[in-house]
Amino acid sequence: MKRSFDFLISAFFIVILSPLLIITSVVIKLTSEGPLFFKQQRVGKKGRLFSLYKFRSMTDNVRDSKQTFNDDPEVTKVGKVIRRLKIDELPQLFNVVKGDMSLVGPRPCLPNLIKDFNESAKKRLLVRPGLTGLAQVNGNIHLAWEERWEFDREYVEDQSFLLDLKIMSKTALIVLFGEKWGKK
């Protein structure tokens, strides 16, 4: 049931948001050189690697393993806006349609992080990674990795349709009104 829900909701949002996706694509191509999408290998369910897609928000010469923030000089002007509004994440709806990801679940991690996983963190590999998750609505980047992994473990152990709806609702509030809605 979760996979069907993910597919239907993601396909619906791809259609509804297609004007925004097209406008974002045009603006990125008109304002900076390089590919439209940023593609990066991430770890999915059962440790399977997949290509995660985002709208490119940085200059084209940034290494894909570098973590950047909005004040980084390599983040483009358009990139700052699409990051703040979370528009850069919208291409991941296609990852959900493909089955690489779910709407809700632990965020997909980089392959080099697996070596640092404790037993609690390894549980995140039992489910599809998500566009949003329990850690993202409870502090997100302000959390230490161990805290994020603990939220991921909690999600895996307590996952339900109702919990997914709560997380999606809280995510919508964060996108619309800012991170203050993501604090416990």
10 Å CB burial of residue 152 (0-12, 13-18, 19+) is buried
- What sections of 117-160 are H helices per DSSP? 119-122, 145-158
Distances, alpha carbon 47 to alpha carbons 60, 112, 157, 176, in Å: 28, 12, 18, 33
Provide the pairing of β-strand 37-43 with 102-104. unpaired
The mean of the pLDDT values for the chain is: 89
| Residue entry with tokens 């690697």 | 49
Q: In the chain, where are the structural domains located? A: 2-182
183 falls in which pLDDT band (50, 70, 90)?
low
Q: How confident is the model over 132-162, as pLDDT tens digits?
A: 999 999 987 788 888 888 899 999 999 999 9
pLDDT of residue 9: 97
Q: How confident is the model over 106-134, as pLDDT tens digits?
A: 999 999 988 888 787 888 899 999 999 99
Q: How confident is the model over 52-88, as pLDDT tens digits?
A: 999 999 987 665 555 555 567 789 999 999 998 899 9
pLDDT of residue 68: 54
pLDDT of residue 62: 61
Q: How confident is the model over 13-41, as pLDDT tens digits?
A: 999 999 999 999 999 999 999 999 999 99
CB 135 within 8 A of CB 152: yes
pLDDT of residue 181: 58
pLDDT of residue 69: 54
